Amino acid sequence: MSRVFFDASVGAYTAEEANMADLINDFDDTLFLEVVPQGQRDIYTSLKPYRIVQRHPNFPEYTVMEIGATELDHRVLASLFNAREAAEGKVGTLADRLENEEAAAEIVRLKARNEEREELRDKARFLMRTPFHTPTMDGKKFRL
């Protein structure tokens, strides 16, 4: 997807960034993905333009993780899964970490598939409800 969303506090960000932000917040509702806007980046934030911040109501805000532009994928969720297990006192073996990475990749894949289905559902809903006899969508003309 190449859609670009706009949030006044963050600036423009892509659909992939929005999906990852949703997944992170679904994992823990006190975690938020922040994007440093392109015009406000310095040397350090140009290397790591993303960060995960925890905003807990009873504690001060702090940065959990800083993420590079090429690292914003399933590995972020896998790191959060591994950190949660470590905080719970579970000793993570290599097999556990690989399992967490596979689970995170599957979650990201399912989220993307769900987004595609919702988009197709919206298009079908538009076509079914349009009052026009020949609506145009994505450059294609449909005859109803």
Residue 97 neighbours by CB distance under 10 Å = 15
Name the band, by pLDDT with cuts 50, 70 and 90, for residue 12: low
Give a yes or no: residue 144 inside a domain. Answer: no
Name the band, by pLDDT with cuts 50, 70 and 90, for residue 1: very low
Cα separations in angstroms, 6 against 25, 62, 116:
18, 24, 20
Number of domains in the chain: 1
Give a yes or no: residue 135 inside a domain. Answer: no
Give a yes or no: residue 140 inside a domain. Answer: no
Q: How far apart are CA 30 and CA 59, in angstroms?
A: 11
* Helix, strand, coil abundance in the chain, percent, nearest 5: 50, 20, 30
Name the band, by pLDDT with cuts 50, 70 and 90, for residue 10: low
Q: Which of 16-25, 42-51, 92-101 bottoms out in mean pLDDT, i.e. has the lowest?
A: 42-51
How does pLDDT run across 51-104, given as a tens digit for each residue?
899 999 899 998 899 888 888 899 999 999 999 888 888 877 889 889 999 999
**Which domain covers residue 72, as residue numbers?**
4-129
Query: How many Cα atoms occupy the beta-carbon half-sphere of 110 within 13 Å?
Result: 7
Q: How far apart are CA 4 and CA 92, in angstroms?
A: 37
- What is the pLDDT averaged over residues 26-52? 84
Could you tell me which of 38, 52, 47 has the C-alpha nearest to residue 68? 47
pTM of the predicted model as reported, rounded to 2 decimal places: 0.74
Give a yes or no: residue 141 inside a domain. Answer: no
Give a yes or no: residue 52 inside a domain. Answer: yes
